[in-house]
Amino acid sequence: MEMKEFLGNFAAQFDDTEESVLTPETRFRELDEWSSLIALSVIAMVDEEYDVTLKGDDIKNSETIADIYNAVVAKL
């Protein structure tokens, strides 16, 4: 799994946020569109795309998109 692919899949969970504004260093909670519903969508996307089960704590303990990516990689 590559970070670029993950960023694309992560960005697909948003309706109004452009992929071009997202980087590995993006603090996702600071995005206007971020919500608990988006968090659930990210968890579902990771399960579907990577066959990895993220828990709420994995999201809660992450600050950046790279942190979520690293949590997924650690579980592969």
pLDDT digits (tens, 9 = 90+) for 18-63: 999 999 999 999 999 999 999 999 999 999 999 999 999 999 999 9
Question: What CATH number corresponds to the domain at position 38?
Answer: 1.10.1200
- Residue pair 22/10 in contact (Cβ under 8 Å)? The answer is yes
Question: Do the domain assignments include residue 59?
Answer: yes
Question: Do the domain assignments include residue 58?
Answer: yes
pLDDT (0 to 100) of residue 10 = 98
Please state the rounded mean pLDDT for residues 11-22. Answer: 96
Question: Do the domain assignments include residue 63?
Answer: yes
Number of domains within the chain: 1
Q: Is the pLDDT assigned to residue 1 strictly greater than 90?
A: no
Q: What is the DSSP string of 24-41?
A: TT--GGGSTT--HHHHHH
pLDDT (0 to 100) of residue 50 = 97
Residue 66, token pair as written in the block: 């790279």
- The domain of 43 spans 3-14+25-75
Question: Do the domain assignments include residue 20?
Answer: no
